Amino acid sequence: MDKTFYITTPIYYPSARPHMGHAYSSIIADFFARFKNIDGHKVHFLTGTDEHGLKVQRAAEKNGQDTQKFCDQISKTFQDLSKTLNLSNTDFIRTTEERHKKSVQHLWNELEKNDDIYLSNYSGWYSVSDEAFYNEDEIDEIDGKKVAKSSRSSVEWIEEESYFFRLSKWEKPLLEYYKSNPDFIAPESRKNEVISFVKSGLKDLSISRKTFSWGIPVPNNEKHVIYVWLDALTNYLSALEYPDKDHELFKKFWPASIHLIGKDIIRFHAVYWPAFLLAAKIDLPKKIYGHGWILSGEEKMSKSKGNILDPLKIVEKYGLDPLRYYLIKEVSFGNDGNISQERLEDCINSDLANNYGNLCQRVVAFAIKNCKGKVPNEIKFQDEDFIILNKFKDNLENIRSKIDQQNINFYIDYIVNSLFEANKYFNDQEPWKKKDNLIRLNTIVYTTLEIVRKISFLLYPIIPESSLKALKIFNISENEINLSSIENNEYLLKDNNINKIDILFNKIEKNND
Ligand code: MSP
């Protein structure tokens, strides 16, 4: 049977243009998707836009635009961003699509059928910015204004007729589920936070609104629209053609391998979503991973704070792969991370230009000059060659298991160390002094080329475009990248041509004044 992997990003509100926080979630998801892809999995990678609710409706009103047209426009900028970031997503879902509406209404009916929904009245605090209901004890007052303690976003009092989901009923089953599935919520700190929230007692959840209309109508009561989070979370199912459980996509990819999200939306994903699914008797996703925030000057990057680093501008200035590499490397995954252009430039110079780019250029230039531009044929490995070559195969199982624990930092450290060792190997072996011992010279070149190939494979999930450029040295194309060749310890074919390649990364001139 095929190994499958289904990964999702949060679906983004098209209330404003995309920023670095969105780019971050998407790039990380792409990293996992590409890794699993070259590791022999059939991958389904979903991203999209979350278009209903008051937040989006008000943003459209503020712009004096028809809501659907406004969504079309901004959703397009997210679709464009997916291309700019070179995401390998296999689908892009919009919650205003018919396939999604059908799915959400079906889920609603299931919940209703199982007696998990009842009609009553809601009165309490609501944050439009978070699209979340808050209890009194979750509210603070700042300068006479009521805000949510967790997000600092302002809240408004609402009182209206509303349908409720019997969330309280699922308190115990959820706690039991967390206990018997210790990997369900990650990292550990988020899991503890969720468990203590659930233990503190769950109240039934308001799941419809009556005072605005931008949403999916409640089946059989069109005066209500479905709460935007119940609507949005269902995207993970609707993209697999739920409720058609016999559909190939659903059969193949549900339950999802991982929902990758930001830590600010952990409660929706790790409490509400599993409760809805338990109530509808649908399997739960295998993992919810809540990553940290990208900070700029110690604060969460957000539109309202005006401290946004625009991913498009960064890509324009430095190129895409440096940004991908930097975000993946710099932020200790799971924690918040501060980013700056200064550190990005350092990273380009040291890791990408000096370490990887330089290794590729040096060995290719040397091989063209001294090995007739071909992968050397007459070679004889010594211990030091085997040691450096076999490391990749020997570490592969460990790398795989670290990836399954979302330990991205291990992965990137492994690559940086391997690059460092490879440069050191080439320097220490001094092939330029071996012109009277061609077999040794050839062997050093062969070994270094083989390492470039292997490292480029491992770099592919992080910097796909540059890794492909480097693999042009050997005429290796994208569909030939696979980790099984490392597992099987396959080596480069001898006598094949070696191609010159363009500089992979330009060094950034730094002004040290
Ligand atoms: N629409 C909801 C998600 C629904 S998923 C069923 C939403 N959208 S959002 O556009 O506001 O945010 C999407 C994701 O971007 C969230 O996971 C959020 O954490 C992430 N980021 C937004 N700003 C961020 C940073 N500054 N840093 C890292 N990620 C942050 O929430």
90: in domain: no
305: in domain: no
Is the separation of the CB atoms in 214 and 96 below 8 Å?
Answer: no
pLDDT digits (tens, 9 = 90+) for 89-138: 999 999 999 999 999 999 999 999 999 999 999 999 999 999 999 999 99
Distance 295 CA to ligand 1 centre (A): 13
- Indicate if the alpha-carbon torsion angle 275, 280, 283, 289 is positive or negative: negative
Which residue among 25, 27, 103, 233 has the greatest number of ligand 1 atoms within 8 angstroms of its CB, and so is best to mutate? Answer: 25
Residue 5's φ and ψ, nearest 5 degrees, are -150, 125
Q: Is 18 in the pocket of ligand 1 (CB under 6 A)?
A: no
Provide the pairing of β-strand 221-226 with 208-209: antiparallel
- Indicate if the alpha-carbon torsion angle 483, 456, 477, 403 is positive or negative: positive
Q: Is 12 in the pocket of ligand 1 (CB under 6 A)?
A: yes
| Cα separations in angstroms, 249 against 235, 238, 256, 341, 502 | 14, 10, 11, 41, 41
Query: Ligand 1: which atom is nearest the Cα of residue 295?
Result: 26
444: in domain: yes
pLDDT at 296: 75
Q: Is 215 in the pocket of ligand 1 (CB under 6 A)?
A: no
CATH number at residue 462: 1.10.730.10
Q: Is 265 in the pocket of ligand 1 (CB under 6 A)?
A: yes
Which residue among 265, 277, 304 has the greatest number of ligand 1 atoms within 8 angstroms of its CB, and so is best to mutate? Answer: 265
Q: Is 27 in the pocket of ligand 1 (CB under 6 A)?
A: no
How many separate helices (H) and strands (E) can be counted in the chain? 20, 18
User: Per-10-residue mean pLDDT for the chain, 513 residues long?
Assistant: 93 91 96 98 98 96 96 96 97 98 98 97 95 93 93 94 98 98 97 97 96 95 97 98 98 98 97 98 98 81 67 93 95 89 92 96 97 96 96 97 97 97 97 97 98 98 98 97 94 95 92 57
94: in domain: no
- Which residue puts its alpha carbon closest to atom 13 of ligand 1? 12
The model carries a pTM of 0.96
Q: Is 309 in the pocket of ligand 1 (CB under 6 A)?
A: no
Range of the domain at 442: 341-487
Distance between CA 430 and CA 451 in Å, rounded?
16
244: in domain: no
pLDDT digits (tens, 9 = 90+) for 289-341: 999 999 876 666 666 666 667 889 999 999 999 999 999 998 889 999 888 88
474: in domain: yes
How many folded domains does the chain comprise?
A: 1
392: in domain: yes
| Cα separations in angstroms, 136 against 123, 126, 144, 263, 400 | 11, 11, 15, 22, 45
Sort 53 into a burial class: Cβ within 10 Å, 0-12 / 13-18 / 19+.
buried
407: in domain: yes
